[in-house]
Amino acid sequence: MVFPLRLFCAVAIAGFIFVDGAGVKIPSTLDGPFEPVTVPFDQSLRGNAVDLPDSDPRVKRRVKGFEPEQISISLSAHYHSVWISWITGESQIGYNIKPLDPKTVASVVRYGMIRQPLTHEATGYSLVYNQLYPFEGLQNYTSGIIHHVRLTGLNPNTLYYYRCGDPSRQAWSKVGSFKTMPVSGPRNYPDRIAVVGDLGLTYNTTTTISHLISNKPDLVLLVGDVTYANLYLTNGTGSDCYSCSFPQSPIHETYQPRWDYWGRFMQNLVSKVPIMVVEGNHEIEEQARGQTFAAYSSRFAFPSEESGSSSTFYYSFDAGGIHFVMLGAYIAYNKSENQYKWLERDLANVDRSKTPWLVATWHPPWYSSYKAHYREAECMRVAMEELLYSYGVDIVFNGHVHAYERSNRVYNYTLDPCGPVYITVGDGGNREKMAVEHADDPGHCPEPSTTPDEYMGGFCATNFTSGPAAGKFCWDQQPEYSALRESSFGHGILEVKNETWALWTWYRNQDSYGKVGDQIYIVRQPNKCPVHQQRTARWFAAS
């Protein structure tokens, strides 16, 4: 049931929000902190993480010549601009590859508010990337021509029609459509934002995306680990485990055609609904001369320049009254580094009267109680947590751990009513299967020396010095910061209702459409939790 605004506000003030007329109460963070809950793992879910084969019709190339394929939309920093991306021409993999020339195919988008005629036209740029290996027996890859075109001057909350291609070749896509974001303001929000992580391209992925589409999102956040192409050798042989795959190979190989498969499979969704992506560890994909992240940085368009960033690894954007900050865990983040300095500037420029909600996203979680990747991102937490807390970040989304976990409000491992709610959704459906062991289970606490990630800059996780786990590396029971954890594939939907209330819902793949796995209202309390600028203003007034 959808409540009228007056009824919603009245009920919200009283603290009672009902799902329907049956009177089922949805809890809110005002009711917390909650006692930790662990949902028992269903063993029948372990056997389904099988990749779609290259023979599956959903991943085959269906266009001819230089017709566009793998079409996707991403947002710019503000409502009046979006990016349209696509690929033309065929990729190549082998020992004697010859890259296509991007200059031979134009990058043109025609668009308008009616299907015909499309009265506006924009041009962009194109590129080709390679994945090269200086080792005998390893096959090299070169992509098709990747096009990125930015549309500007758009109206807010408006349906636009578009087609992309090269008019000189008569190589056009079919007419598609997308809807722009609302203008930034405390009462303007996209209806539904889907959040998913660690997708891959398995049969579980297809269920996740099918359920996600049924929820009709206006925006998709993908919190890292896109295709898992690096679970394959260059000859297409696959493995179920990143850390144990192909130890005899001279370099960690990757099978780049899996990116093309993923782009084709996802086109039905992301050619209509904008997708915003942040990098995960499976996007590193090291190649010749130490180059990394070539596919990730080439295939997606990012509002980096528009948001003042010089990197594809961190950027920000607005979606109505929400300001999203996308951070990179696999690039330097200390206070002396460019990312941290950019983050300081970005947060200082956020106007909470226009974008009351502040949401941050990066791949590896700071607050996870699973054994997998336990406290792996501690160096990033030590470097950045205080800054994010001081500016009043409301929600943090992460992936990496292949399970679901929602936290109580927390800061520096201590329950704090002004801390963010951390939500791990690394359960999109990837081939590596679910994380099921918890660090607090007897005998499952990792050896501290095994916890840091080689890409995160060092070892920062030590025994706790205070609190219930003082003197230990792991808690003896589910940590008090962990409100709910469950090992199931799924996705989440964020629905911001007004400047202080947002509904978070997590859906499990094994459930029927519409059934809820976890649901809570996340409530901001700006009067109790003033942000950095307000504190600074009071300090100057007092002095």
DSSP letter string over 63-105? --TT--EEEEEEE-SSTT-EEEEEEES--EEESS-----GGGS
Q: Is there a domain that residue 70 lies in?
A: yes
Do strands 37-38 and 482-486 pair parallel, antiparallel, or not at all (unpaired)? parallel
Dist. CA 4–CA 470, nearest whole Å: 49
In this model, does residue 21 exceed pLDDT 50?
no
Dist. CA 435–CA 437, nearest whole Å: 6
Q: Is there a domain that residue 328 lies in?
A: yes
pLDDT in tens, 257-293: 999 999 999 999 999 999 999 999 999 999 999 999 9
382 and 513 in a single domain? The answer is yes
Tokens for 105?
Answer: 């195919």
Q: Is there a domain that residue 219 lies in?
A: no
338 and 411 in a single domain? The answer is yes
pLDDT in tens, 401-442: 999 999 999 999 999 999 999 999 999 999 998 999 999 999
Tokens for 228?
Answer: 């898992």
365 and 497 in a single domain? The answer is yes
In this model, does residue 26 exceed pLDDT 60?
yes
229 and 208 in a single domain? The answer is no
Q: Is there a domain that residue 265 lies in?
A: yes
Q: Residue range 517-536: average pLDDT?
A: 83
206 and 254 in a single domain? The answer is no
What CATH number is associated with residue 200? 3.60.21.10
Q: What is the CA 90 to chain-centroid distance, rounded? A: 28
Examine the fold and report which residue of 239, 267, 286 is the final residue of a domain before the chain moves on: 286
Do strands 322-326 and 357-361 pair parallel, antiparallel, or not at all (unpaired)? parallel
Q: Residue range 379-385: average pLDDT?
A: 96
Check residue 3 and report its DSSP letter: P
How far the first Cα of the chain sits from its last, in Å, is: 51
Check residue 250 and report its DSSP letter: S
Q: Is there a domain that residue 46 lies in?
A: no
Dist. CA 156–CA 210, nearest whole Å: 28
Determine the residue type at 493. I
431 and 535 in a single domain? The answer is yes
Q: Is there a domain that residue 24 lies in?
A: no
Q: How many domains does the chain have?
A: 2
Q: Which pLDDT does position 247 carry in this prediction?
A: 79
Banded model confidence at residue 83, pLDDT cuts 50, 70, 90: very high
> Mean pLDDT score of the chain, rounded to an integer?
92
Q: Which pLDDT does position 13 carry in this prediction?
A: 36
Contact between residue 424 and residue 398 where contact means Cβ atoms under 8 Å apart: yes
Q: Is there a domain that residue 23 lies in?
A: no
pTM of the complete model beyond 0.85 = yes
Best CA proximity match to 458, nearest among 376, 388, 372, 386? 376
3-state DSSP percent of the chain in helix, strand and coil, to 5: 20, 25, 55
Q: Residue range 41-54: average pLDDT?
A: 81
Tokens for 231?
Answer: 């679970």
Examine the fold and report which residue of 240, 269, 286 is the final residue of a domain before the chain moves on: 286
Q: Which pLDDT does position 426 carry in this prediction?
A: 97
344 and 431 in a single domain? The answer is yes
What CATH number is associated with residue 169? 2.60.40.380
**Partners of 112 in beta bridges:** 161
171 and 262 in a single domain? The answer is yes
Banded model confidence at residue 5, pLDDT cuts 50, 70, 90: very low
Q: Residue range 109-115: average pLDDT?
A: 98
Q: Which pLDDT does position 533 carry in this prediction?
A: 54
3-state secondary structure of 464: strand
How would you classify residue 293: left for phi > 0, otherwise alpha for psi between -120 and 50, otherwise beta? left
Q: Which pLDDT does position 310 carry in this prediction?
A: 95
Q: Cβ contacts of residue 149 below 8 Å, gap of 6+?
A: 83, 84, 85, 107, 108, 109, 122, 123, 124, 125, 164
261 and 368 in a single domain? The answer is no
The b-or-e profile of 448-480 (16+ CB within 10 A means b, else e) is: eeebbbeebbeebbeeeeeeebeeebbbeebbb
DSSP letter string over 324-374? EEE--TTS--STTSHHHHHHHHHHHT--TTT--EEEEE-SS-SS--BSTTT
115 and 230 in a single domain? The answer is yes
**Partners of 414 in beta bridges:** 411
Residue 346 domain boundaries: 191-214+313-436+478-542
Angle (deg, nearest 10), helices 203-214 and 257-270: 20
Give 172's Cβ-side CA count (13 Å radius).
12
80 is catalytic: no
Q: Cβ contacts of residue 516 below 8 Å, gap of 6+?
A: 505, 506, 507
pLDDT in tens, 357-368: 999 999 999 999
Banded model confidence at residue 3, pLDDT cuts 50, 70, 90: very low
Place of tokens 């002095």: 543
Contact between residue 76 and residue 317 where contact means Cβ atoms under 8 Å apart: yes
Q: Residue range 231-237: average pLDDT?
A: 94
Tokens for 378?
Answer: 């501690």
Place of tokens 């915003």: 276
**Partners of 125 in beta bridges:** 148
Q: Is there a domain that residue 483 lies in?
A: yes
320 and 373 in a single domain? The answer is yes
Q: Residue range 374-392: average pLDDT?
A: 97
Dist. CA 20–CA 282, nearest whole Å: 41
Any idea what the Cα angle at residue 408 is, between residues 45 and 213, rounded to 5°?
45
In this model, does residue 448 exceed pLDDT 50?
yes
Write down the catalytic residue from 147, 373, 438, 491: 373
In this model, does residue 185 exceed pLDDT 90?
yes
Q: Which pLDDT does position 459 carry in this prediction?
A: 87
Give 509's Cβ-side CA count (13 Å radius).
30
Question: Which is more confidently placed, 201 or 457?
Answer: 201
Q: Which pLDDT does position 42 carry in this prediction?
A: 86
Question: Which is more confidently placed, 459 or 439?
Answer: 439
Answer positive or negative: Cα dihedral of 514, 28, 361, 432: negative
Peptide bond into 33 cis (omega under 30): yes
pLDDT more than 90, % of the chain: 86
168 and 260 in a single domain? The answer is yes
pLDDT more than 70, % of the chain: 92
Dist. CA 270–CA 363, nearest whole Å: 20
Tokens for 53?
Answer: 């084969």
Q: Residue range 476-495: average pLDDT?
A: 97
In this model, does residue 445 exceed pLDDT 50?
yes
- How far is CA 538 from each of CA 14, 165, 290, 527, 535, rounded to the nearest angstrom? 31, 54, 49, 14, 5
Q: What are the helix (H) ranges across 170-256?
A: 203-214
